[in-house]
Amino acid sequence: MKAIVIREPGGPEVLSLQEVAEPSLGAGQITLQVGATALNRADLLQRRGLYPPPKGESPLLGLECAGVVVAHGPGASGPPVGTRVMALLPGGGYAERVVVPERLALPIPDELGFEQAAAIPEAFLTAQEALFTLGRLEAGQTVLVHAAAGGVGSAAVQLAHAHGARVVATAGSREKLERVRSLGADTLVDYQTEDFAEAVSQVTEGQGADVVLDFVGGAYFERHMRCLAVGGRLVVIGLLGGVSADLNLAQLLMRRTQILGLVMRSRSVADKVAISQTFARNWLPRFASGALAPVVDSVFPLADAQGAHERMERNANIGKIVLRVSGSSAERLSD
Ligand SMILES: NC(=O)c1ccc[n+]([C@@H]2O[C@H](COP(=O)([O-])OP(=O)(O)OC[C@H]3O[C@@H](n4cnc5c(N)ncnc54)[C@H](OP(=O)(O)O)[C@@H]3O)[C@@H](O)[C@H]2O)c1
């Protein structure tokens, strides 16, 4: 089959479409013919040799996909061959075929194509875990969502808004913020020119945010500790702004702050199944009605994974960058 291979650690130019061996189908697994996959920030790190796949998993890039079931491994009983499904993957999505534990497969609503469905698993399941499992966000509470025009951020804004929370969203340009407003954000902060901690203080009348979705880490830590409400939860999901910070334990203790780390890729299959099934129950039906929608920034053919990586490295995307795998010679749809 054809897949994107990392010729050597490096920039986007090291990605090339090559012939590779078919993935081997194990017990309880299904093979998917991949219709589309989507980029994640982790792919950029893996390409540079800085984020190796979990032991025993595919060395190929690709943490999510949408496709059709084409084969069952020993003991796997469903979903039937021909079913359209989407799934989180530990790797292997930048390829014509991938294997996945059958219990991780989520049905794709009829209303969505593969390119939309491929934009759902990583963004929405991560946002769900961060907001509700770790953040314990409740209706009427305030959440600060950084990188709100990114893949995970654009999903988090929609889920938090749908849950009845007040959303303060940051992004790096007016164009991005306008899109974020249309997803349900109540307060917009251009972090290049405005202070998000001040904005949170204003809208909460000095109380602070109940939950912060932190993709930035070190560079924002001190401000986060200041702008969290008493009993607030800081959910650390990404480290785009550095890994180190000074923690004032007295402040943590007095304000009963909770700092929670989140990682998806290295979780057990059982954890991922539980997360996927919660999503299927609570949120998936709302994609059929259009109340929730994956935000697709652009679609590149698989053969142009390089162009897709370059776009993400420029922080140019609003929502998810998708790779079309079936019929991968097709032209890019938008820029
Ligand atoms: N823990 C997990 O399991 C998990 C799962 C998924 C994603 N993540 C992490 O979550 C983060 C977001 O992922 P994503 O898929 O949403 O990425 P994305 O779509 O590429 O969006 C990231 C956005 O963050 C903003 N940004 C970049 N560098 C920044 C910095 N230093 N300070 C502030 N903002 C910055 C940029 O938008 P602006 O133009 O607005 O600055 C960029 O477009 C990444 O760090 C990713 O690794 C973690």
Among the candidates 261, 278, 301, a domain finishes at 261
Choosing from 237, 310, 311, 314 the residue with most ligand 1 atoms within 8 A of its CB, the one to mutate for a pocket test is 237
- Give the pLDDT confidence score for residue 332 in this predicted structure: 32
Residue of 297, 142, 287 lying closest to 213 (CA atoms)? 142
- Give the pLDDT confidence score for residue 78 in this predicted structure: 82
Tens digits of per-residue pLDDT, 14-60? 999 999 999 999 999 999 999 999 999 999 999 999 999 999 999 99
Residue 204 pLDDT exceeds 50: yes
CATH number at residue 290: 3.90.180.10
Tens digits of per-residue pLDDT, 253-287? 999 999 999 999 999 999 999 999 999 999 999 99
Range of the structural domain that residue 146 is part of: 131-261
The whole-angstrom separation of Cα 252 and Cα 127 is 24
- Give the pLDDT confidence score for residue 334 in this predicted structure: 31
What are the start-end ranges of the H helices in the chain? 41-47, 114-117, 121-128, 151-162, 174-182, 196-203, 221-227, 249-255, 269-282, 285-288, 305-313
Output the CA 239–ligand 1 centroid distance in Å: 8
Q: Domain tally for the chain? A: 2
136 with 253, same domain: the answer is yes
114 with 51, same domain: the answer is yes
Task: Give 323's contacts (C-beta < 8 A, 6+ positions apart).
Answer: 36, 37, 38, 39, 94, 118, 299, 300, 301, 302, 305, 308
Determine, yes or no, domain membership for 206.
yes
Structure tokens at 261: 């780390």
Question: Which residue has the least CA distance to atom 25 on ligand 1?
Answer: 147
Output the CA 161–ligand 1 centroid distance in Å: 20
Give me the percent of the chain exceeding a pLDDT of 90: 96
Determine, yes or no, domain membership for 126.
no
Residue 333 pLDDT exceeds 50: no
114 with 143, same domain: the answer is no
Output the CA 220–ligand 1 centroid distance in Å: 14
153 with 220, same domain: the answer is yes
The whole-angstrom separation of Cα 154 and Cα 275 is 19
Determine, yes or no, domain membership for 330.
no
Determine, yes or no, domain membership for 291.
yes
Q: pTM for the whole thing?
A: 0.96
Among the candidates 229, 261, 293, a domain finishes at 261
As for ligand 1, residues whose beta carbon falls within 6 Å of it are 40-42, 122, 126, 147, 149-153, 171-173, 176, 215-216, 237-238, 240-241, 262-264, 312, 315, 317
| Amino acid found at 230 | V
Determine, yes or no, domain membership for 171.
yes
